[in-house]
Amino acid sequence: MQVSADLGAFLGALHSAPIAPALGCGVPRHAGHTMAARLLTDSAHLLEGWLGQRDWPRRQAELRRRLAPTRAEVERGVLLNCDIAPGHLLYDPATRRLTGVIDFGDLAVGDPARDFIHIYEDFRPDRLAEVLAHYPGTASDMFELEVRRWYLLEATAWAVEMHEAGASTDVEHGVATLRRELPSGASPAPPRGSA
């Protein structure tokens, strides 16, 4: 689909932009490994309660494995939008082209896989593959695993944040996401994204 090609090309261009000017303007670094370490220590008791004491050791080990920092995260930083969500993509249905991307309020420097999590969450899983097919320089099967790692990290952080804010409905949604991504004894299944 053309819009997937357009989005892949847009993200390729964004991620190729020089980061020094952005860092010089105070754009923050998005450090997933720091975020993961904090979650796995400060929120371990909370996560154990959500995911079940009996299954917790296995799920905790999988969570640690999946949230471990990658070489790309530590060594490679690119300019990130951090919010490539449906409401921020402008689309012309007549031409089926992406006409714009709005809202750069979460701009950061970090792992390029981070910019694909909303595509993974909010669209059909095959749409992520389409976008990755037009994103330069990635082996889509390996890169998709990195996207899913970031999705799990952000979903975990969001559930903890919603718990601290007392938003029980949002916590339930976050915990359902964690259970789906960290099933007991099975390979994680892709999310049921909307079309």
Q: Which domains does the chain have, with CATH numbers?
A: 2-181 (3.90.1200.10)
- The reported pLDDT for the residue numbered 76 is 67
Q: Is the pLDDT of residue 115 over 60?
A: yes
- d(CA 71, CA 105) in angstroms, rounded, equals 26
Are 30 and 80 a contacting pair, CB within 8 Å?
A: yes
What's the pLDDT at 75? 62
The yes-or-no verdict on residue 87 having pLDDT over 60 is: yes
- Summarised one tens digit per residue, pLDDT across range 130-165 is 999 999 876 656 788 888 888 988 989 999 999 999
Q: Which backbone phi and psi does 108 adopt, to 5 degrees?
A: -155, 175
Pairing verdict, β 108-110 and 78-80? antiparallel
* pLDDT score of 140: 59
What is the residue whose two structure tokens read 């979460």? 106
Of 168 and 98, the one with more pLDDT: 98
pLDDT for position 60: 85
- Give tens-digit pLDDT for 42-54: 998 999 999 888 8
